[in-house]
Structure 1
Amino acid sequence: MKEDADEVQTGAFIRALQRVVAIEPREMRSIVWSWLYFFSLLASTFVLRPLRDSMGLNGGADKYPWLFTGTLVAMVVVSPPFALLVTKLPRKRFIPIVYRVSMACLLAFWLALKVLPESLNLAAAYTFFIWFSVFNLFVVSVFRGFMADIWRLDQAKRLFGFIGVGGTLGALAGSQIASLLAKSIGSVNLLFLSIILLEVAVFSVHRLVVIHRIDAAPPGENVPAPAAISTADMWRGLKLIISQSYLRWIASYTFMYGLIGTFLYYQQGKLVDLTIHDRDVRTQYFANIEFWVQLGTVLIQFLLTARLIRWFGITFALISQPAIAVLGWIVLSLAMVYGPWLGANGFTVGQLAPQLAVLAGVQILLRISNFATAQPAREALYTVVEREVKYKSKSFIDTFIYRLGDCLGAWAFMGIQAVGASLAAIAFLTIPIAGVWVFVGRSLGRKQRELTDGASSSKIEVALEPTETETP
Structure 2
Amino acid sequence: MLLTTNLAILLGSYYLLKPVREALILTEGGAEVKSYSSAAQAVLLLLVVPAYGAFGSRVRRLKLIASVTFFFVSNLIVFYFLGKAGVREGVIFFIWVGIFNYFVIAQFWAFANDLFSESQGKRLFPILGIGSSLGALVGAWAASRLINFVGPYGLILAAAGGITTCIALTALADRWGAQRTGEQESTKSKIPLGKEGGFELIWKDRYLLLIAVLTVLLNVVNTSGEFILSKLVVARSLELFGPGAEMARKTFVGSFYAQFFGWVNLLGLVLQTLFVSRIFRYVGVRGSLFILPTIAFTGYTMILLYPALGVVRLLKILENSTDYSVQNTARQALFLPTSREAKYKAKVAVDTFFVRIGDVLQAGIVYVGTMLAFSISTFAAISVALTLAWILVSVGIYREHKQRIPTVS
Q: Do the structures match in fold with TM over 0.5?
A: yes
Equivalent residue in structure 1 for 2:92, among 91, 114, 127? 127
How well do the aligned residues superpose, as a CA RMSD in angstroms? 3.6
Change in 2 beyond 3 A, CA 1:37/1:426: closer
Q: Please say if residues 260 and 317 of structure 2, whose CA atoms lie closer than 8 Å, have aligned partners that are also in contact.
A: yes
8 A contact 2:110–2:343 mirrored in 1: no
Matched, 1:367 2:320: yes
Q: Is 2:303 the partner of 1:323?
A: no
1:43 and 1:172 in contact (8 A); partners too: yes
Q: Which residue of 2 aligns with 1:339?
A: none
Question: Is residue 180 of structure 1 aligned with residue 145 of structure 2?
Answer: yes
Q: Report which stretch shifted further, 310-319 or 413-422.
A: 310-319
Equivalent pairs counted in the alignment come to 389
Select the residue among 200, 204, 209 that pairs with 1:240: 204
> 1:47 is paired with a residue of what secondary structure?
helix
Deviation at 1:444, TM superposition (A): 4.4
The 1:311–1:190 alpha-carbon spacing in structure 2 relative to 1, beyond 3 Å, is same
Higher relative contact order (CA 8 A, sep 6+): 2
Find the counterpart in structure 2 of residue 101 from structure 1: 71
The residue aligned with 2:273 is 302
Query: In 2, are the aligned partners of 1:88 and 1:220 still within 8 Å (CA)?
Result: no
Match of 1:420, SS state, is coil
Q: Report the Cα offset of residue 404 of structure 1.
A: 1.0
Q: Which runs of 5+ in 2 are unaligned?
A: 180-185, 239-248
1:125-175 alpha-carbon deviations (Å, 9 max, x no partner): 1111111111112223444455567x5659965766545433332222111
Q: Is the 8 A contact 2:140 2:262 kept in 1?
A: yes
In the TM superposition, what is the alpha-carbon distance from 1:86 to its structure 2 partner?
3.8
Contact 1:309 1:317 in 2 (8 A): yes
Correspondence for 2:356 among 399, 403, 419: 403
Cα deviation, residue 443, structure 1: 5.2
1:113 maps to what in 2?
83
The 8 Å contact of residues 38 and 143 in structure 1, kept in 2 or not, is answered as: yes
| 1:266 matched to 2:230 | no
Q: Which residue of the other structure, out of 26, 33, 44, is the alignment partner of 2:13? A: 44
Q: Do residues 195 (structure 1) and 148 (structure 2) align?
A: no
- In structure 2, relative to structure 1, the CA distance for the partners of 1:391 and 1:112 (3 Å cut) is closer
1:35-434 map, 5 Å: 35-57=4-26, 58-89=28-59, 95-116=65-86, 120-121=87-88, 124-144=89-109, 153=117, 162-205=127-170, 221-223=190-192, 233-240=197-204, 244=206, 248-276=209-237, 278-312=249-283, 316-336=287-307, 355-379=308-332, 381=334, 394-434=347-387
Contact 2:29 2:90 in 1 (8 A): no
Q: 1:439 to 1:108 in 2, by over 3 A?
A: same
Aligned AA (1:438): I
CA distances 1:84-128 after superposition (whole Å, capped 9, x unpaired): 334445666655544443232212112212213xxx51xx11111
Cα pair distance change 1:93/1:153, threshold 3 Å:
same
Shift of 1:323: 1.7
Q: Which residue type is aligned with residue 111 of structure 1?
A: F
Matched AA of 2:8? F
Q: Find the aligned partners of 1:431 and 1:373 in 2 and give their Cα distance.
A: 20
Q: 1:194 to 1:381 in 2, by over 3 A?
A: closer
Q: Which has the larger radius of gyration?
A: 1
Q: State the alpha-carbon separation in 1 of the partners of residues 290 and 118 from structure 2.
A: 32
Q: In structure 1, list runs of 5 or more residues that go unmatched.
A: 1-30, 337-354, 455-472
Offset from partner CA, 1:195-230 (integer Å, 9 cap, x none): 22123334445666787899xx99993445xxxx98
Contact 1:266-1:410 within 8 A present in 2 as well? no
Amino acid at match of 1:56: I
